[in-house]
Structure 1
Amino acid sequence: MTANDHYFTAQPASSEERRTLAVHLAGRDVEVETAGGVFSPDHVDLGTEVLLRTVPAAPATGDLLDLGSGWGPVALSLALESPEAQVWAVDVNERALDLVRRNAERLGLGNVRAVLPDEVPDDVAFAAIWSNPPIRVGKDALHALLLRWMPRLAPGAQAHLVVGKNLGADSLHRWLAEQLGDAADVERVASAKGFRVLRVTSR
């Protein structure tokens, strides 16, 4: 398996491939299912932990987006925090999306929709976006991803992105500010354990 294979695994994991993992999400201890072929299958990765510790409380209602969901730690946290909101878990990896659906059902969360990017209706505007974006897909693909989704923030809404400092967080900060221009403010709001948390506030 190459470094990028976990972004593109096509088939859901079989029952033999799935395994149970105990994690701490949204202030509670829960059990989830993971499998090889997805990002960080054995634990909540450090970048996601930094993101979840530093973001403000999720909006109680509206459409919330976890961009690049993996098996779902961010989407599940959003859904646990905001049971009246609609949480969209977006990924290109069908195995990851299947795990998100299984984990939402396991935790009794009926407000999670795990979908491919093109399955999100065009008229949905997001009250919040939380993301540990897939930096390793390459700069061009990452830039296209962010330019597709950041403009879909509702006016005044915020996105929070966690990016490794050694993976270009500061240059991405500058690039986002240039690309979004007057449409949004881009700030670094936290730095911990080698990661930056960037906040994009839609105007």
Structure 2
Amino acid sequence: MNPSSPDGHYFSPEPSVASDPRVVDVLLDGVDLQLQSDAGVFSHGQLDEATRIFLDGVPSPPAHGNLLDLGCGYGPIALTLATWSPGARVYAIDVNERACDLTRDNARRAKLDNVHVSTPQQTPADVVFDAIYSNPPIRIGKQALHELLATWLQRLAPTGVCYLVVGKHLGADSIAKWLTSQGLRVDRLSSKQSYRVLEVRRTDREQI
């Protein structure tokens, strides 16, 4: 992938890089998935370390309600949530159409019919989320990242919770400080191999 080319980034809507399918094994507590990844989609050919640390460290998801995987890639977080909470509705969202297609196909092959895959524009505007999970796309830039998080945190239920994993070297402390400045409560759940798992909650019923 050519990082200097906008359509080579994993956060491009339609990456032009040639397809190179590779299978990724996701083996976690209660989870045994074989997922198809592809070039032009985040973490091609592997389960990246941040996501593994994240899934090993977050509390069990709600058994019911609406869960969101923000920036789903080929679907390791969304499909893990769907496996852990078969009674919940898991929304897997990505701007990358190739990523959405992969997640949709991976959910079908895994027989997880509680996964709803869409781009942000295709996601129903009235859905409120009981929990949000994300390995956010830090490389889109600080302003774009802040706008992304603010947009979706507005749709967090008043009693809901958001979990983020961010590398310390990629600005975890800066993001935590910014979230706090927006009137949110931010707690660090864990820190491992320079990655920090943050828990974010609304402190009142007002939108950000």
| TM-score, scaled relative to structure 2 | 0.90
The correspondence of residues 1-203 of structure 1 with structure 2, limited to 5 A, is 1-3=1-3, 5-8=9-12, 10=14, 17-179=20-182, 181=183, 184-203=184-203
CA positional deviation for 1:9:
5.1
| Alignment: residue pair count | 199
SS of equivalent to 1:171: helix
Contact 1:38 1:96 in 2 (8 A): yes
Contact 2:35 2:76 in 1 (8 A): no
SS of equivalent to 2:24: strand
CA distance in 2, matches of 1:171, 1:19: 34
Contact 2:15 2:40 in 1 (8 A): no
CA positional deviation for 1:143:
0.5
Higher RCO (CA 8 Å, separation ≥ 6 residues)? 1
Contact 1:12 1:98 in 2 (8 A): no
SS of equivalent to 2:10: helix
Q: 1:159 to 1:89 in 2, by over 3 A?
A: same
CA positional deviation for 1:7:
1.4
Give the letter for the 1:124 counterpart: V
Question: What residue in structure 1 maps to residue 206 of structure 2?
Answer: none
CA distance in 2, matches of 1:60, 1:188: 23
| TM-score, scaled relative to structure 1 | 0.92
List gaps (5 residues or longer) in structure 2. 204-208
SS of equivalent to 1:6: coil
Measured on the aligned residues, the alpha-carbon RMSD in Å equals: 1.8
